[in-house]
Amino acid sequence: MRGSWRLGRVAGIDAYVHWTFGLLLAWAGWTAWQGAGTGAAVLLGVAFLVAVFGSVLLHELGHALVARRYGVSTRHILLTPIGGIASLEGMPRAPKAELAVALAGPAVNLAIAAALALVSRVTAFEAFGLVDGLLYANLSLALFNLIPAFPMDGGRALRAFLAGRMGRRAATGTAVRLGRGIAIAMALVGLFVNPMLLLIAAFVWFAGGAEARALDGYGDDDGSFGRERYAAPVSAWQRPGAYQGVRGGGTRVVFVRRSW
């Protein structure tokens, strides 16, 4: 991938890290140096950051492996300074399958946190606070990703839960509206507490819109282009603004955008 370094292959999936991750490591080392002024502190700070992003990699791998179980392949996993991205080739249409894929990532982080809590409880191994720090980092990753707003896993889990009751399009609309409400609340809190929340709020707001637009042209909840509504003359679907597609059976399906 352009602008990225290949880390290796995990469970048959190529993993990459974006070059800007090096800047994040440098920032972590510099911050540790400013705080303690020792080489050991720098190494500890960098090691902690690498461990956190190792957890992010496992989080994305959780999504990928569960998606594979439902017949969806993953092109690659990319780590960036703001998180990880598992590039799935699609998303299972069955609500239960989508729910399982969405919750797989946070479940991995909760499992890591539980394992670290056990290690911390039954042994004296602390590794200069790395164990406890990584434990809380994984809890934070799980809880943050469970916020019911796109593009977080919680938003997709909510959509999957609702899709079995009201259909995929209506479920997406409900999840987007809830997510935007959360974005507004984040922005208000960010004005008085932490400006970083303003950036997260903007991200959530626009990601919700992108998720809704992704369904444009897909009138049915089964993922097909749409049922036959009426026959249109050839001149109608040849004009600019008409969208054409082919269903699985080879039947041509045409959407005609009206002029008003």
Its domain, for residue 163, covers 148-223
**Prediction pTM value:** 0.75
Say yes or no: 75 and 26 in one domain.
yes
26-60: per-residue pLDDT in tens?
888 888 788 777 777 788 888 888 899 999 999 99
Say yes or no: 142 and 91 in one domain.
yes
Say yes or no: 139 and 201 in one domain.
no
Say yes or no: 25 and 3 in one domain.
yes
Catalytic residue among 60, 126, 211, 228: 60
CB under 8 A, 24+ apart: contacts of 247-250: 248/224
Q: How many other C-beta atoms lie within 10 A of the C-beta of residue 108?
A: 24
Q: What residue type is assigned to position 78 of the chain?
A: L
139-160: per-residue pLDDT in tens?
999 999 999 988 889 999 999 9
**CB half-sphere exposure, 64, CA atoms < 13 A:** 24
Number of domains in the chain: 3
Cis geometry, peptide bond prior to residue 151 (ω within 30 degrees of 0): yes
Per the annotation, the verdict on 60 as an active-site residue is yes
